[in-house]
Structure 1
Amino acid sequence: MPVEPKAIHLDVLLAVVLTWLTLDTVRNYDDGTVAPVTYLLAALTVAPIALRQRAPVTTALVVLGALAAYSELGRMAFPNAGVGMLVCVLTVATLRPRPVTAAVCATAAVVLVFAYMRMTPDFAWSEIVQAVLVVFGAWVLGEGTKRWAERAERLAERAARAAADERVRIARELHDVVAHHMSVISLQAGVARYVLDTDLATARQAIGTVGEASREALAELRRLLDVLRVDHDGELAPQPGLASLGELVERARGAGLPVEVAVTGEVRDLPSGPDLCAYRVAQESLTNVLKHAGPATARVDLDYGEHTFTLKVTDDGAGAAGPVSPTSHGIRGMRERAALYGGVLTAGPRPGGGFGVVLRLPVEEAG
């Protein structure tokens, strides 16, 4: 993990301040018998903190070695109350695996006991136990800090994945909206142009369908764009569902596609997710019929089973505008939608001619 320059600067500042305080403490106890090496060892008990995030284990070993050597000189007190050792144990616990931390912490405890025995002849064992517990407390604090950082990282990754999934969902929504409505507009505009001079009533009807489809497309696009606006204060329009299937079928009929709808089973509301999924599959399927089937009729079957909801969209077209591929982007998107809610979607040519799309979604038991 790279270390931020700001963190390094703070470590250097901390090391400089602690080193100055440590050397001043040793000087105050200097009665003229303190050797220069004593000042050097005292400084080494805190100065390496400047490198604690780059090499935490090495820093800890240098500090512990300096503390052990300082105590070997027989001085009567810790040069800085052992603060350098505690900082090193905390750093190792935060940045290194638990076995490494355990080894460093055990080494620190041994050095601490040795230092007490060398520097304080009339020491009390309770003091040593308390000091060792402080070292292990630094370990616990570092471990907690590491867990908090790992949890924050997991939450950030989860938020990033959720944002990516939402972008995919919105992209799919845009594809469905644009593909369906633009297909209707294109077909009806072509009809109006073809019959404009020979059948004015049909041309007016086609132009009216173009206007209605364009208004609906703009409304849905505006709803999707509102979702992306952070400062949106208004209410969003509800997502379409099977309750809007009648309007979808009427648009298809207005575009020149005869559509028959059949419903079996006990009709009931589906959860919002599967409801939207079923609507989008019906929308994409009817759009594909308009684009690829040529002169054809379509049939939409809704079956509300006890445990499964089934949607079938079939046509008897000959594929005059080119057959739709079962692996096309639109069908692949429908399969992804179905899988999102634990369902299965199959699509392909029918044995008797035409094309069929079958969506099966698990639903809760009726009643």
Structure 2
Amino acid sequence: MTDQQPPPARPSRPWMVWLWMERSTVGLPVALLIFDILGTFGAYNGWHHDRGVSGVEVRSLDWIGWVLVVAGPVALHHRRRAPRAALAVCLGATMAYLLLGYAYGPIFLNALVAVVVIGGTGYRREVWIGSIAFAVGMLFVPTHKERGQTRTDAVDVLSTIGWLLALLILAELFRVLRQRALEAARAREQEVRAREQEARRQASEERLEIARELHDVLAHSISLIAVQANVALEVMDRRPEQARIALSAIKDASRSALGEVRSVLTVLRGDQAAPRDPAPDLGRLTHLAEMAEAAGLKVALSVVGDLDAAPLAVSQAGYRIVQESLTNVVRHAGAGRAWILVESADGLRLRITDDGHGAPLGLDGTGNGLPGMRERAAALGGSLTARPLPGAGFRVDAYIPYPEETA
């Protein structure tokens, strides 16, 4: 019934990468573990190859070194449940690895990733404390120029400060990017929810419109059929010609009702390719009056102005209001005559009057009848009033304005 809305735009690729880093509990640690293992092997092969040329000595990679290398990725796997502990393990294992004199390698990445990812999730104070402690510890890491010598010269101090600043800047950058990514994800979710709510609202409005159309079609036609069936039963033996006329009226009313119900059901199924007859409008008022007369009600129809000037929506609503009014007259009023006045000028004015007993029309508790007519008029900016007349009779007055470009 409603057009399918296009899917909302997906967030840009950089935000998807950052969200993956923050949300994935397995992917990031596994990738880091593989990189650490391969990189550490490569680093030690490089040290052993160069040792005979430069005289550089490093500690052999034993089981303690491997435990320190693996500790970082394992800790990051649990960063959601224990972010502070994961940060401490990554920084501590990296610092211990360096203080013990193992060869430089990708283990630095463990500390970097821990600071960036955990700092980006909101633990700024812990990241600052851990980064400063790590930078201070770097001053005591033995250099590989001379075994056991620590970093005390100005260049090494500046290098350590640079490490600290780089870690903190990256952590803050990730925090900002993560915040933007989450905001983009929330905006996308809100857009999806808004589209779903709008689709539900449109579907509800369409169901109400279909229910109103079915009520108008069936109530009018079935009322005429019931009246004519009673007439046919009464005169079948005494006046068979009159019974034949009544049965012919039943046939016409049934055919008309089936055609309109078929059109409504076509829309209900959502079969847009299926042919659909246009909804009746003011051009069929004469036929409507004839059907009411076939039910035994004398109808006087007066038209003032050009009905073709009425927009289609107004014309269709006007037809339904007249149809519902005549249906109520036939079913409830016990009237013998009805007068229909239709005026088309700056808007559509309708007046339907009968000479019945003046009881309220269509107040059957179903939400249709008079309430349905008022809803039709109000939906197009108009109004509808209904009241009994002094002595006898009932009157329905409706006004629906034309749009400015039409008036």
Question: What band does the TM-score fall into relative to the shorter chain?
Answer: 0.7 to 0.9
Deviation at 1:182, TM superposition (A): 0.6
Partner SS, residue 264 of structure 1? strand
Deviation at 1:340, TM superposition (A): 2.4
Counterpart-to-counterpart distance in 2, 1:242 and 1:130: 72
Indicate how the Cα distance of structure 1 residues 72 and 349 shifts in structure 2: closer, same or farther if over 3 A, else same: farther
What code does the residue aligned with 1:347 have? Answer: A
Of 339, 344, 354, the match for 1:315: 354
Bigger Rg, structure 1 or 2: 2
Q: Are 1:350 and 2:389 counterparts? A: yes
The answer to whether the 8 Å contact 2:360/2:387 transfers is no
Look up the match of 2:338: 298
5 Å matches for 1:152-231?
Answer: 152-231=192-271
Relative to the length of structure 2, the TM-score reads: 0.69
Deviation at 1:328, TM superposition (A): 4.3
- The RMSD of aligned alpha carbons is 3.8
Of 270, 279, 282, the match for 2:310: 270
Larger mean Cα displacement after TM superposition, 74-83 or 163-172: 74-83
Counterpart-to-counterpart distance in 1, 2:237 and 2:387: 40
Look up the match of 1:279: 319
Deviation at 1:187, TM superposition (A): 0.4
Larger mean Cα displacement after TM superposition, 25-34 or 269-278: 25-34
Number of positions where the alignment pairs a residue of Structure 1 with one of Structure 2: 335
Partner SS, residue 220 of structure 1? helix
Partner SS, residue 318 of structure 1? coil
Partner SS, residue 78 of structure 1? helix
The answer to whether the 8 Å contact 2:382/2:401 transfers is yes
Larger mean Cα displacement after TM superposition, 65-74 or 169-178: 65-74
Deviation at 1:201, TM superposition (A): 2.3
What code does the residue aligned with 1:17 have? Answer: V
Deviation at 1:238, TM superposition (A): 0.8
Indicate how the Cα distance of structure 1 residues 353 and 72 shifts in structure 2: closer, same or farther if over 3 A, else same: farther
The answer to whether the 8 Å contact 1:42/1:66 transfers is no
What code does the residue aligned with 1:44 have? Answer: A
What runs of 5+ residues in structure 1 fail to find an aligned partner? Answer: 1-6, 52-57, 93-103
Deviation at 1:284, TM superposition (A): 0.9
Partner SS, residue 351 of structure 2? strand
Q: Give CA-to-partner distance per residue, 1:100-129, whole Å, 9 cap, x none.
A: xxxx28568747964884667263656764
Counterpart-to-counterpart distance in 1, 2:372 and 2:195: 28
Look up the match of 1:99: none
What runs of 5+ residues in structure 2 fail to find an aligned partner? Answer: 1-19, 44-59, 99-106, 139-158
Counterpart-to-counterpart distance in 1, 2:192 and 2:30: 31
Higher relative contact order (CA 8 A, sep 6+): 2
Deviation at 1:179, TM superposition (A): 0.7
Deviation at 1:335, TM superposition (A): 2.2
What code does the residue aligned with 2:361 have? Answer: V
Indicate how the Cα distance of structure 1 residues 60 and 157 shifts in structure 2: closer, same or farther if over 3 A, else same: farther
The answer to whether the 8 Å contact 1:304/1:310 transfers is yes
Deviation at 1:27, TM superposition (A): 7.0
Relative to the length of structure 1, the TM-score reads: 0.75
Deviation at 1:43, TM superposition (A): 2.1
Q: Are 1:261 and 2:274 counterparts? A: no
Counterpart-to-counterpart distance in 1, 2:84 and 2:286: 76
Of 111, 129, 150, the match for 2:190: 150
Indicate how the Cα distance of structure 1 residues 289 and 169 shifts in structure 2: closer, same or farther if over 3 A, else same: same
Of 370, 377, 382, the match for 1:338: 377
Counterpart-to-counterpart distance in 2, 1:144 and 1:113: 30
What code does the residue aligned with 2:278 have? Answer: P
Partner SS, residue 351 of structure 1? coil
Counterpart-to-counterpart distance in 2, 1:108 and 1:221: 70
Larger mean Cα displacement after TM superposition, 202-211 or 137-146: 137-146
